[in-house]
Amino acid sequence: MNTGTSADTRSANLGMLGGGQLGRMFVHAAQSLGHRVTVLDPDPASPAAAAADEHLRAAYDDEPALARLAATCEAVSTEFENVPAAALRALAERGCRVAPSADAVAVCQHRLREKQLFVRAGVPCAPHAAIESEADLDTPALDALLPGILKTATLGYDGKGQVGVDSRAALAAAFTSLRCAPCVLEKRLPLAAELSVIVARARSGAIVHLPLQGNVHRDGILAVTEVPAPGLSRATAEAAIAHARRLAETLGYVGVLCVEFFLLADGRLLANEMAPRPHNSGHYSIDACDLSQFDLQVRTLLDLPLPQPRQHSSAVMLNLLGDLWFDAGTGRAREPDWPAVLALPGAHLHLYGKREARRGRKMGHLTVTAAQAGEARHIAGQAAGLLGLPPLPYVPSPSQPPASPTSPPP
């Protein structure tokens, strides 16, 4: 028995490759369990590094920085899809616990390998073809994929690296404009809704998931997430969760994985893409669930228990892009009216501490929670109005007025 007056604690030092907002929220979750975090990111103004215990300011493939991370950290994760898988591999080879693995990240970083995984796991996805060279443009079968979207196989995000194509000529021009980088041509589909699911898988194979997220994108960037996803059937929700679990299992994945889905008007559910990390559409879980996606990331990294997360409030999340820092009429720089937003009941404001607002840059998010979905939607609509965002999608029709924000739930 230890009868002394001091004892060592079991707090761990964790490493994070990538220093954006996802890393910042991971730091908050890790620190709330008493752990320390070292962030590796070249940006001196990294949002995650501002919150972390240590900042290694170096490139992701910088050998001395990776050596220090391996020497000082018990386990390392990543928050940025484009961190080279080789960096994760180098850390694992140095005996560091790494989750997700380099191999799993490499699949999610490459749209063609990702599609091959969907097929292997029996998860339906959009009709597509690989366009890896100019010779591939001559394939007759491509006609069936037009109109389509040409997407670079690697390094795309938030709609970047994508070109809509309506004809063979447009396809050839788009391939040239993407510098003939390896691409996937996908058929453009009539989307009824976009959904996503976050699963967390432990080293033991145990899997839990967050509820299904309903997402609305504007200009290729996530704009709104609503949970529960409106109008979603139980069968669709169960199918999406089963697909996401199967993908994690097929990959032997450890960590947090987000799978995006398209729901078509005829009810078909197709996997779109995966992110080997927490995801923008999962941010609501911080305020609306008893375990957030970042808590799950910490737990899977450290082999901590993984109970099924429970959603305790309905939630609507609004992404706050840098555009909000510019007056829509005059184009002049301005600070959004945060006091007005913070006065709304159930409004949880998360700003990422970025020093410079740029159009299209993710600066923060606002999650509105409420006991009832209609109430969350109603107050989120008010917040959108105050911020100068477009009116919310999913606003209930006038025949179904939203619950008054001040009235107690029935």
Could you tell me which residues are beta bridge partners of residue 218? 221
- DSSP character at residue 390: P
Q: Which of 41, 79, 114, 186 binds ligand ADP (CB under 6 A)?
A: 186
In sequence order, the 6+-apart residues with CB closer than 8 A to the CB of 93 are none
Q: Does 147 bind ligand ADP (CB under 6 A)?
A: no
Tell me if 295 contacts ligand ADP by CB under 6 A.
Answer: no
Q: Contact letters (x/-) for ligand ADP, 236-275, by CB under 6 A?
A: ------------------------x-----------xx--
CA proximity to 41, closest of 53, 54, 58? 58
Nearest-5° angle of CA 201, CA 161, CA 126? 60
Residue 189 lies near ligand ADP (rule: CB under 6 A):
yes
Footprint on residues 155-184 left by ligand ADP (CB under 6 A): 156-159
The residue count for binding ligand ADP (CB under 6 A) is 17
Site string for ligand ADP, 99-138 (x = CB under 6 A): ---------------------------x------------
CB of 128 to ligand ADP, least distance (A): 8
Rounded Cα distance between 310 and 27, Å, is 22
Shortest distance (Å) from residue 217 CB to ligand ADP: 4
- The residue whose two tokens read 């850390």 is 91
CB of 384 to ligand ADP, least distance (A): 19
Inter-CA distances, 352 with 50, 96, 282, Å: 10, 29, 16
Q: How far is CA 169 from CA 146, 148, 173, in A?
A: 11, 12, 6
Name which of 317, 252, 312 is nearest 280 in CA terms.
317
188 binds ligand ADP (CB under 6 A): yes
Cβ 231 to ligand ADP shortest distance, Å:
17
Compute CA distances 371 → 281, 375, 398, whole Å. 20, 7, 21
Query: What residues make contact with ligand ADP under the rule CB under 6 A?
Result: 126, 149, 151, 156-159, 186, 188-189, 191, 194, 217, 220, 260, 272-273
